[in-house]
Amino acid sequence: MSEIPPQASQTTVDEARRLIRTADRAVLATSRGDGWPYASLVLPAVDVDGAPLLLLSDLAEHAKNLKAEPRCSLLYDGTAGLENPLTGFRITVLGEAWPVEDRDLLARFVARQPTSALYAGFADFRLYRMAISRAHAVAGFGRIHWIEGALLGT
């Protein structure tokens, strides 16, 4: 019988929200459809409700994977500068990412990731919005919690 992890404290939920909103990069994991996972570095932003936003090229492997299978995860790493990164906070959010056509969201993304202005208007780039189902927060040894996606919103 597996042990049920403890419910995340409000402090952990707040730390998760803060990292998702402030991270300038994340690792996106998608499924290649052949049974192999595929991870790639991406630049994230967030919608006003905390939903992750990604600007991806149709030519990229991760975008091809999302087209076939929208389930994915994003790893946000808040351990920079720590002598032992395994003692720091990180969170993996799980959900589904879908392309959205929304000029306001695209402007929000570009404001958060200014270098994306160079390619945001290219025909092969799409803005994706991820609906978070749940998240796995690790705040150091023994501080591990699942958080329901609804708790990570605004």
Is 70 exceeded by the pLDDT of residue 5?
Answer: no
Q: H helices then E strands: how many in the chain?
A: 3, 8
DSSP string for 28-88: EEEE-SSS-EEEEEE-EEE-TTS-EEEEEETTSHHHHHHHH--EEEEEEE--TT-SSGGGS
Query: Which domains, from first to last, does the chain contain?
Result: 10-152 (2.30.110.10)
pLDDT digits (tens, 9 = 90+) for 14-55: 999 999 999 999 999 999 888 899 999 999 999 999 999 999
Confidence of residue 2 (pLDDT cuts 50, 70, 90): very low
Alpha-carbon distance 94 to 56, whole Å? 18
Residue 1 has a pLDDT of 41
Within 10 A of 28 (CB to CB), how many other CB atoms are there? 25
pLDDT digits (tens, 9 = 90+) for 117-152: 999 999 999 999 999 999 999 988 778 999 999 999
Confidence of residue 154 (pLDDT cuts 50, 70, 90): low
- Is-contact 113 99, C-beta < 8 A? no
pLDDT digits (tens, 9 = 90+) for 48-98: 999 999 999 999 999 999 999 999 999 999 999 989 998 899 999 999 999
Which of 115, 121, 100, 106 has its CA nearest to residue 25?
115
Would you say the pTM of this structure is higher than 0.75?
A: yes
